[in-house]
Amino acid sequence: MSSAAIVDAAFLADPYPTYTALREAGPIHWSEAFFGGAWLLTRHADVEAVLRDSARFSAQRTGGWVMQDAAARGELKRFQQLFARAMLFVDAPDHTRIRGVLNAGFRGELLQRLVPAIEQRVDALLDELSAVDVEAGFDFMQALARPLPADVMALLMDIPAADRGDFIAWSDDLAAFIGATLPSLEQARRAQTSLLAMCGYFERLVPLRRAAPGDDLVSRLLRAEAAGEIRGAAELLAQCAMLLFAGHETTRNLLGNGLQALLAQPDQWQRLQREPGLLPGAVRELLRFESPVQYTGRRIATDLVLHGQQLRRGDLVVALIASANRDPARYEHPERLDIARRPGGLLSFGAGPHVCIGAGLTMMEAEIVFGRLLRRFPRLCLAAAQPRWSGNAVYRGLDALPVRQPVATRLAPSHAISMPRR
């Protein structure tokens, strides 16, 4: 397979045939289609090993990525300074220190306290749909998948949900940059503008939160800064911005991708209605089947040989998470969606030190949303023949997901819905 042919329109619409071909051709490939040159890892065992081995595979990789255009290095300096401080892109001991601060805000018992508020918000968004909307068809992405994660992050950070339009727009610009296999200067500029806007938002919020702290994530970061666990304003602002972005992007795509997969295979949707106890496992299977994060990158920290290939310090490795999640050496019939499957070793949230800190929150939101939809719209179906994928290589998601429910089905009242607790 030609490396130049990997990332094209067909790949962005459906990357899985390419992943299959790469896995079958070998465990490791050099491709110039990703960031001007990177080693691609295709199989579950290798992807998991790389994500767990932070000593040899470093998450500290933003320099060449952001500053690849030599003429714009001065222009993008502030972007690089903030981007490089985010927990996503630092190694131990800094990563361990920052993650220790944030872990407490994502404990299971704290997330459970959010369940009633999330349920209420989901019901409110669905209540905005009229019977005519539901019968004729509505865009699930605009109606629920886009606004809800921003609302939940606003709740977690105790910031006004009314500002979610800004949050979503800023996140879109960052996602376009991170999701480009070779970002353009214009994408970098737009991402910088949005990251600076996010940080500016939190700069205005911080004095207010210092005066009246609470138990939200921003207050936790401020207390950690006072204790010396968060070092400086730039590090604090970078965590706030990346929490807002990451908490929105992955959840939005899980909701859209998951619903599309279920409705494209109505037998799975109908089985969930008959067996609602399968829902927690079904969410994990949806994450495996249509991973919201398709790949992640690492820099080689020391020269090494992998599958007979010499990898040099500084080389980029692209760990193809979505390919690993469909590796037949790890999963039986991986191309089949099976909501009764128990997909152990799931890599959609990463693995090792950098495993997604908000994984529990994302899955909780998905369980609530799909549970509500199953009860209120039991005959929901796709209203378009083909899904409209966004074309983002990293954050696989939908621009639109038209759905409808035939008029014969009466909506169930919100209060009749009971969700299983974690």
Most confident of 57-61, 63-67, 331-335, 385-389: 331-335
Identity at 307, one-letter amino acid code: H
- Prediction pTM value: 0.92
Q: How many helices (H) and strands (E) does the chain have?
A: 18, 12
**How many domains does the chain fold into?**
1
**pLDDT tens, 358-404?**
999 999 999 999 999 999 999 999 998 888 999 999 999 999 999 99
Q: Report pLDDT for 70.
A: 59
At residue 410 the predicted structure's pLDDT band, cuts being 50, 70 and 90, is: very low
Q: Report pLDDT for 130.
A: 84
- Tokens 């595979």 correspond to 57
- DSSP-assigned beta bridge partners for residue 304: 311
The percentage of the chain sitting over the pLDDT mark of 90, rounded to a whole number, equals 80
Judge if the upstream peptide bond of residue 292 is cis by omega within 30 degrees of 0. no
How far separated are the first and last CA of the chain, in Å rounded? 45
CA distance linking residue 52 with residue 196, whole number of Å:
31
- DSSP-assigned beta bridge partners for residue 381: 404
Mean pLDDT of 321-347: 96
Torsion of CA 301, 303, 306, 310, to 10 degrees: 130
In the structure encoding, which two tokens stand for residue 147, read together?
A: 């606004």
Q: Does the pLDDT of residue 409 top 60, yes or no?
A: no
Does any domain span residue 162? Answer: yes
CA distance linking residue 283 with residue 262, whole number of Å:
10
Q: Strand pairing of 402-404 and 138-139?
A: antiparallel
DSSP structural state of residue 143? I
Strands (E) in 217-360, as ranges, are 296-300, 304-306, 309-311, 316-319
CA distance linking residue 138 with residue 154, whole number of Å:
25
CATH number of the domain to which 229 belongs: 1.10.630.10
Average pLDDT, the chain: 91
**pLDDT tens, 276-306?**
999 999 999 999 999 999 999 999 999 999 9
Does any domain span residue 290? Answer: yes
**pLDDT tens, 171-224?**
999 999 999 998 899 999 999 999 999 999 999 999 999 999 998 999 999 999
Does any domain span residue 398? Answer: yes
Q: Report pLDDT for 417.
A: 43
Identity at 292, one-letter amino acid code: P
At residue 422 the predicted structure's pLDDT band, cuts being 50, 70 and 90, is: very low
* Cβ pair 154, 160 in contact under 8 A: yes
Mean pLDDT of 145-149: 96
DSSP code string of 63-117: HHHHT-SGGGTTTTHHHHHHHTTSGGG--TTHHHHHHHHHHGGG-HHHHHHHHHH
CA distance linking residue 174 with residue 79, whole number of Å:
11
Distance of CA 38 to the CA centre of its chain: 22
Q: Does the pLDDT of residue 275 top 80, yes or no?
A: yes
At residue 10 the predicted structure's pLDDT band, cuts being 50, 70 and 90, is: very high
Q: Residue 288 sits in which domain range?
A: 3-416
**pLDDT tens, 95-118?**
999 999 999 889 888 899 999 999
CA distance linking residue 2 with residue 14, whole number of Å:
17
At residue 71 the predicted structure's pLDDT band, cuts being 50, 70 and 90, is: low
Does any domain span residue 201? Answer: yes
DSSP code string of 315-340: -EEEE-HHHHTT-TTTSSSTTS--TT
* Cβ pair 87, 100 in contact under 8 A: no
Q: Who contacts 214 (Cβ-Cβ below 8 Å, separation ≥6)?
A: 158
Q: Report pLDDT for 54.
A: 94
Q: Does the pLDDT of residue 415 top 70, yes or no?
A: no
Does any domain span residue 421? Answer: no
Q: Report pLDDT for 408.
A: 65
Mean pLDDT of 10-32: 95
Strands (E) in 167-315, as ranges, are 296-300, 304-306, 309-311
Does any domain span residue 422? Answer: no
Q: Report pLDDT for 419.
A: 46
